[in-house]
Amino acid sequence: MPDTAAGGGRDTLVAAVDWGGTWIRVAAVSAGRVVRKDRRAKPPSLAEQYTTVAGMVLRTTSGLAQAPAAVGVGLAGVVQDGVVGTALNLGFTDGTDVAAALRPHLPLPTYLLNDAQATALGVAARWPHGTTCVLTMGTGIGGAVIRDGSLEPGLGGAGDFGHVVIDAGGPHCPCGGTGCLEALVSGRVLAEAANVLAEQGSSPLLAARARGGRMLHAGDLRDAAEHGDDRAAGVLDRSAAALAAGLRTIVATHDPHHIVLAGAPLAPDTWFGRAVRTHWDRTRPRWARTQLHHVGDDEDAALLGAASYALGRSTGTRPGS
């Protein structure tokens, strides 16, 4: 967690929530460290989710030396000024003031941000100075822009790199556009490609894994490429080229000191990670001085980032942090 300004209460206890499509995770955080945490499966209805989040926060912070000063919530959806525009995996389909909805169950100052932004704040704490752009790859593509330890959210969606347009005539994206980076390379897209190759019978390894009706995922495509499957390697190479084009756009728009690739699929020792770096080295702007880094999966990063955001907002030492 980045330092706050003098008098900002760095040791103040805050609660953090990582509210995802499968799990809800909650932590009590003090001095940049998780001191207690809990995890529960996300209930199906929104009403149950509200009570679950509130109950987990209260239980996780109960009995500690101080009460939490605020709650930071990283949520898998579009968040603008604390209002969730859409989060289909959670059941939000229109503008919802989640902090207000939580208030009857959780009478604490509550600050919301996108879950990728929360993760970015958590991982970017390793590079506290200058501009750091974080790109996350999981089921989709997310990210954030961090400047001197503080989030640069724009109206809420700044750094949503999954919706940088790479191919204006490309495939449709759920955001309503076409050719977005997320529509060309993401865990979902690579999983779909693996299943298509298996159905076509053009990849013996993938076809064998799909026998019995098993649905393949991006890791199967990677395994096929690493075993010398040319069709799987071709899909991954094209996706890697698209991601490198996205990195060029990040450099052109932000000229950051660092770009951090977050998530296991982007590790430099994987087939895909190596391909991304090969395309980046070939196509990066000649003037670019940006350093490329990787961080692995860290389940606490989103919690630490949400806590940092809440601490900055509640103390007023880092507006928008």
Q: Are residues 46 and 149 in the same domain?
A: no
Is residue 5 included in any domain, yes or no?
Answer: no
Joined tokens for residue 292:
């490329």
CB 256 within 8 A of CB 223: no
Cα–Cα distance for residue pair 39/118, rounded to 1 Å: 17
pLDDT score recorded for residue 317: 63
DSSP-assigned letter for residue 37: E
Is residue 7 included in any domain, yes or no?
Answer: no
Cα of 172 vs its chain's centroid, Å: 21
Residue 79 pLDDT level (bands cut at 50, 70, 90)? confident
Nearest to 12 by CA among 71, 54, 66: 66
Q: Are residues 43 and 156 in the same domain?
A: no
What are the residues whose beta carbons fall under 8 Å from the beta carbon of 211, sequence distance 6 or more?
A: none
In DSSP terms, 318 is beta-bridged to none
Q: Are residues 144 and 245 in the same domain?
A: yes
| Percent of the chain with pLDDT strictly greater than 90 | 73
Average pLDDT over residues 206-221: 94
Number of folded domains in the chain?
A: 2
Average pLDDT over residues 23-33: 95
Other CB atoms within a 10 A radius of the CB of residue 320 amount to 13
Q: What angle do CA 158, 243, 141 make, to 5 degrees?
A: 45
Is residue 67 included in any domain, yes or no?
Answer: yes
In the Cβ-directed half-sphere of 57, how many Cα atoms lie within 13 Å?
30
Q: Are residues 191 and 74 in the same domain?
A: no
Distance (Å) of CA 320 to CA 142, 146, 156: 19, 10, 10
Is residue 320 included in any domain, yes or no?
Answer: no
What are the residues whose beta carbons fall under 8 Å from the beta carbon of 107, sequence distance 6 or more?
A: none
Q: Is the pLDDT of residue 264 over 60?
A: yes
DSSP H helix total and E strand total for the chain: 10, 13
Q: What is the pLDDT of the chain when averaged over all its residues?
A: 90
Q: Are residues 117 and 245 in the same domain?
A: no
Joined tokens for residue 13:
């206890």
DSSP-assigned letter for residue 273: H
Q: Residue 64: left (phi > 0), alpha (psi -120 to 50), or beta?
A: beta
Is residue 212 included in any domain, yes or no?
Answer: yes
Cα–Cα distance for residue pair 261/263, rounded to 1 Å: 7
Q: Are residues 247 and 261 in the same domain?
A: yes
Q: Are residues 182 and 206 in the same domain?
A: yes
Query: What domain range is 250 assigned to?
Result: 128-295
Q: Are residues 93 and 32 in the same domain?
A: yes
Is residue 101 included in any domain, yes or no?
Answer: yes
Convert the pLDDT of each residue in 269-318 to its tens digit: 999 999 999 999 999 999 999 999 999 888 899 999 999 999 999 887 65
Is residue 114 included in any domain, yes or no?
Answer: yes
Q: Are residues 101 and 193 in the same domain?
A: no
Q: Are residues 194 and 80 in the same domain?
A: no
Whether the pTM exceeds 0.75: the reply is yes
Give the domain CATH number at 85: 3.30.420.40
Is residue 246 included in any domain, yes or no?
Answer: yes
Q: Are residues 288 and 303 in the same domain?
A: no
Q: Are residues 291 and 304 in the same domain?
A: no
| Percent of the chain with pLDDT strictly greater than 70 | 95
